[in-house]
Structure 1
Amino acid sequence: MSGARNGEVIQDYLEGYKGILVTDGYQPYHTIMKNSNDITVAGCYSHVRRKFAEIVKAAKAKADTGTRDSRRAVKRIDQFYHLDNKFKIF
């Protein structure tokens, strides 16, 4: 693969793959998923975390349910990152 990230290159690279594909939301991944019964695209945690963090930041000190749940989501994702960093070899 030449480093290109267009849909054809991605399609060729994923030929025969079955499962969940965690991506950054680049549209060709979603196009591949729409045309395949074998691939499910899931967003990455950094993008999800960013959205929850934006809610927390916008709400400031509010104590409503949405803000509380968003804080919990950010904390939980941070725990995932902590565990992931513990097991990195390099």
Structure 2
Amino acid sequence: MMIVPLGVSICLYTGISRRIESLKSTMSLHDEGIVEITPKSIKQDYKMIEEAIGFYVEHCALSFVHLEQQFEPVKERYHNFLMAHFQEDL
């Protein structure tokens, strides 16, 4: 198993958490008509978060439960968001 230094783990955790909040904000701004996003960009953001959480869980499992709890409601919202705005691209 790869040994990830504590500082790297903390920064990765913080970065993932911020990306989750950014994804939530982007979806809200799109819902409000303030910004327009493409299915490609929202899917890419979601995929990056999933990959980062997967790496974190495997290599930095200090407290991944908090990230999972933060991301879990976003998963359902993301899928509902795609259905509402980009159904033709699914």
- Shorter-chain TM-score bucket reads 0.3 to 0.5
- More helix by percentage: 2
- For normalisation by structure 1, the TM-score amounts to 0.36
Of structures 1 and 2, the larger Rg is shown by: 1
| Higher-RCO chain (CA-CA 8 Å, sequence separation at least 6) | 2
